[in-house]
Amino acid sequence: MKLTLTNIKELKRNSNSPLTKRVCNYVIGEWSDYSDKKTIFTDVLYHGCQSGIVGELIYYTDTVKFYKQYRDEINDLLYETMSGTGLYSPSEIFGDKWDKEDPLAQDTYNQNLLAWFGFEETLRNIAYHFEQLKKYI
């Protein structure tokens, strides 16, 4: 599929996932700010949400709200990642960034990591639909 605004909107329209719809909204909102549309994806996928590139996911209040809103989908993504990598604990995936004293992500810090993870993985899954992005993911 070709990376066009119409195709992003179609993916959003055809998705049953509220998280995918939200991330598509991000892409749609950023579309006019980028001359090279691939950069919408590569900025996030190369530098991560932690870089501040996703303005709506900078502050803990926003990331915690995002995590709580999409918790089930983010947990599913985490499970898929664990199954696909053979790593079976968040601390194995996130390394020393994961607060091991909060294994169930009840506190802000781990919820923040999971919000970023959910956004980035969903953006990566959207990117898989487009030929122009395959070499970047």
Q: What is the pLDDT of residues 52-70, one digit of tens each?
A: 999 999 999 999 999 999 9
What's the mean pLDDT in 82-103? Answer: 93
pLDDT of residue 132: 86
What is the band of 137 on the pLDDT scale with cuts at 50, 70, 90?
confident
Q: Where are the domains of the chain?
A: 5-136
pLDDT at residue 136 in the model? 80
* Mean pLDDT (whole number) for 30-57: 96
Specify the pTM: 0.94
Query: Burial level of 31, CB count in 10 A (0-12/13-18/19+)?
Result: middle
Q: Are 94 and 113 in contact (CB under 8 A)?
A: yes
